[in-house]
Amino acid sequence: MSSSPLFYQAGPAMPEVSHARGVFLWDTEGRDYLDGCSGAISCNLGHHHEGIRDAMLAQLDKVAFTYRTQFENGPAMALAQSLVDMTNQDLEKVFFVSSGSEAVESAIKLARQYFFARGESQRRHFVSLRPSYHGSTLGALGVTGYQPLEVPFADITQGSIKVPGPDFFRRAEASDDAHVRELLRQTREQIEAAGGDSIIAIVLEPVGGASTGARMVNKAYLEGVRELCDEFGCLLIFDEVLSGVGRTGAWFAYQHWGVVPDLLTTAKGLGAGYYPVGALLCRADIVDTVMANGGFQHGHTYAGNPLACATGLAAVEAIRKENLLDNVAIRGQQLREGLDALKARFGFVGDVRGIGMLWGVELVQDLSSKAPFPAEANLFARVTALAKEEGLLIYPRRSLDGLAGDHFLVCPPLTISEQEVSLLLERLSVALQRLES
């Protein structure tokens, strides 16, 4: 038994971190690591960002915490306005939380309360994709489509109607268009089977995260889902906990395709790794309906506190001031070309997909059949360990539900420079070479 009082999910022994600057971290032995996954796709501005540090210290010197029922606070008002502006007023109301799971939980509850207030309490089902990840709290886990996480809790979560999500790499159909048509057909069939007027919302990640290795949607798919929601009178929720706040080169990923959701969740990059802050963005009339009918029966103690919001505000301002959406486009392209070159070089790199500074690499045993490596090969853990030995952090996952194989995310801070992207690719290439031999 370990002598440490800390416990984590099972994993290999970890080095102890000493300090970090920019895209690099150092352990207590003096080794450096290039942060190729922004921690948990959260440290979007790199480490030790002076603007954020200064904003946090300034806020600490004023007031760190006030409770939302006692005071309004300037940073919360300013950050809420900033978020609304980032959507170009597509979504006009903001509810703060402290994590991605809390944001999804809030979306689920607000959507249900909206229909409850409208006398449509028969609406009790959510539709979500398999695979997907929406968080670890029971509501968010209920809409999550990732079997290893679902199984122990299947009979104590409400669950959701799971429909297959887009997989343009392994699609069985002859074309992307045919694939999208088939997915939408299956989704419609499931909705009709449950009863169209029993659905509260369809929930999806516009760009998948760790559960899918950055699987993408396309415009036709999102438009089709939007149409289904409109036809059946349910809401569309985009989970942008991971893809929001500049990660994909737009403020929010949905803006690439121009399909607007009714509710949107975001977190991770909003606090930029400095303080937990998340948000639920909503259509104004949904909030008005709920507020006119007794208010939103939901809240979290730390939600929207001044220090959290000052941090979020500084992160958003830094992205603006440093033109990081442009940097994402340019350096994201460099990263994409480099990853494509690795795919051409290593036969077991089956797919490189993503957008902006959010890339997924899927490993396959056989390129033509796209067959995954057997689970016992433990490839996702091996590639991660080798990358770490070479001084590179990546974010791995293996799909245990047979829907995909081993994949990892490459998603460095949005601040990464040209030389740092080259170094990232160099270290990854050595790790893949060692994996091959």
In the shown chain, the binding pattern of residues 253 to 272 toward ligand PMP, with x for contact by CB under 6 A and - for none, equals --------------x-----
- Token pair belonging to 137: 């709290």
Burial class of residue 434 in the structure, from the number of CB atoms within 10 Å of its CB (0-12 exposed, 13-18 middle, 19+ buried)? middle
Tell me if 105 contacts ligand PMP by CB under 6 A.
Answer: no
Contacts to ligand PMP from residues 275-334, by CB under 6 A: none
Burial 233-271 (b: 16+ CB within 10 A, else e): ebbbbbbbbbbbbbbbbbbbbbbbbebbbbbbbbbbbbb
Spatial CA neighbour of 257 closest among 228, 217, 292: 217
| Burial (0-12, 13-18, 19+ Cβ within 10 Å), 303 | buried
Q: What is the DSSP letter of 157?
A: S
Q: Is 104 in the site for ligand PMP (CB under 6 A)?
A: yes
Kindly tell me which residue out of 99, 128, 305, 429 binds ligand PMP, with binding defined by CB under 6 A: 99
**Whether 191 contacts 115, CB under 8 Å:** no
Residues 269/247, Cβ–Cβ less than 8 Å: yes
> Considering only residues 44, 73, 101, 384, which one is a binding residue for ligand PMP as defined by CB under 6 A?
101
User: What 3-state class would DSSP assign to 166?
Assistant: coil
Nearest C-alpha neighbor of 267 from the set 138, 27, 83: 83
Taking CB under 6 A as the criterion, the residue among 39, 100, 131, 306 binding ligand PMP is: 100
Between 101 and 429, CB nearer to ligand PMP: 101
DSSP state of 397: E
Phi and psi at residue 157, in whole multiples of 5°?
-110, 155
Considering the complex, state which of residue 200 and residue 431 has its C-beta at the smaller distance from ligand PMP: 200
Shortest approach of ligand PMP to residue 97 CB, angstroms?
9
With binding defined as CB under 6 A, does residue 352 bind ligand PMP?
Answer: no
| Distance of closest approach, residue 14 Cβ to ligand PMP, in angstroms | 19
Tell the smallest beta-carbon distance from residue 370 to ligand PMP (Å). Answer: 24
Q: How far is CA 204 from the centre of its chain?
A: 10
Q: How far is the CB of 122 from ligand PMP (least distance, A)?
A: 27
Half-sphere exposure at residue 376, Cβ-oriented, CA atoms within 13 angstroms = 0
3-state helix, strand, coil in the chain (%, to 5): 45, 20, 40
For the bound state, the minimum distance from the C-beta of residue 251 to ligand PMP, rounded and expressed in Å, comes to 16
Q: Is residue 134 within the footprint of ligand PMP (CB under 6 A)?
A: yes
Q: Which is nearer to ligand PMP, 304 or 391 (CB)?
A: 304
Stretch in the footprint of ligand PMP (CB under 6 A) among 100-108, 116-124, 404-412, 423-431: 100-108
Q: Residue 10 is encoded by which pair of tokens?
A: 């099972």
Q: Which residue is nearest to ligand PMP (CB)?
A: 100
* Given 96, 116, 126, 133, the residue binding ligand PMP (CB under 6 A): 133
Q: Any contact of residue 247 with ligand PMP (CB under 6 A)?
A: no
Site string for ligand PMP, 177-216 (x = CB under 6 A): ----------------------------x---x-------
Judged by CB under 6 A, the number of residues near ligand PMP is: 13
Interface residues with ligand PMP (CB under 6 A)?
99-101, 104, 133-135, 205, 209, 239, 241-242, 267
